[in-house]
Amino acid sequence: MKKTDFNLYLITDRKLVCSSRLPVNSQASSGNGGCCTALVAAVEEALKAGIKAVQLREKDLLTRELLQIAYEMKGLTEKYNAMLFINDRLDIALCTNADGVHLGQASIPVYAVRQVVGDKMLIGVSTHSLQEAVSAEGEGADFITYGPLYETPSKLKYGQPVGLESLKTLRERVSIPVFGIGGIKPEKAKNVIDAGAHGIALISGILGEADIKSAAEKYIKILD
């Protein structure tokens, strides 16, 4: 049985990487191919720093494109002894022998995924309320992300930040690992852990930085 033995969970966003690492004229001409290449390179920088879990979350890619980058990511995570999770797409996770799948509230239910993968994969679930968190645990999730804890552009559609007090209350009701997510800057990371989180999940905090390896190292040092 795989274990959630990581405390920093990197979530991908190729558009963020593309906008921050490729010149504007290059972005327009390279399309998905260029952004995917930039994303793979960016994730490798984070893995070099010591990141041990990556969620491939590129919802708008066509299936063949997603499968190709998933294979590349799997090769990278194996190289650096890290875990790969595929967002939502159980089929892609199975094809690439990923370590887990990460589900949203509109995804295939946890119990249905568990029937397919047994204990061969970890199942993570995105939650934004106490009710969703309790439900995810009840259905058999191995861990959850919870937030947004703070204001962040990538999570605006999920409403106002839930805050640390909400996280503390949640930890009294669920026993599986909880990863705080949403606007967690380095100076806020320790507060999230002190509020009961097992770890933190990041997108822009690492992939939005000019020096990805240094940004990842900073968070790793705080959490360790």
How far is Cα 194 from Cα 41, in angstroms, rounded to an integer?
A: 33
Please choose, from the candidates 95, 93, 96, 86, the residue with its C-alpha nearest in 3D space to the C-alpha of residue 11. Answer: 86
Determine which one of 14, 74, 89, 155 is catalytic: 155
Tokens describing residue 160: 């106002």
Contacts made by residues 156-160, CB under 8 angstroms, sequence distance 24+:
158/128, 158/182, 159/128
How far is Cα 75 from Cα 1, in angstroms, rounded to an integer?
A: 21
The answer to whether 126 is a known catalytic residue is yes
Determine which one of 126, 135, 166, 204 is catalytic: 126
Determine which one of 14, 21, 57, 89 is catalytic: 57
The answer to whether 79 is a known catalytic residue is no
How far is Cα 125 from Cα 116, in angstroms, rounded to an integer?
A: 16
Q: What Rg, from alpha-carbon coordinates, does the chain have? A: 16
Active site amino acids: 57, 126, 155
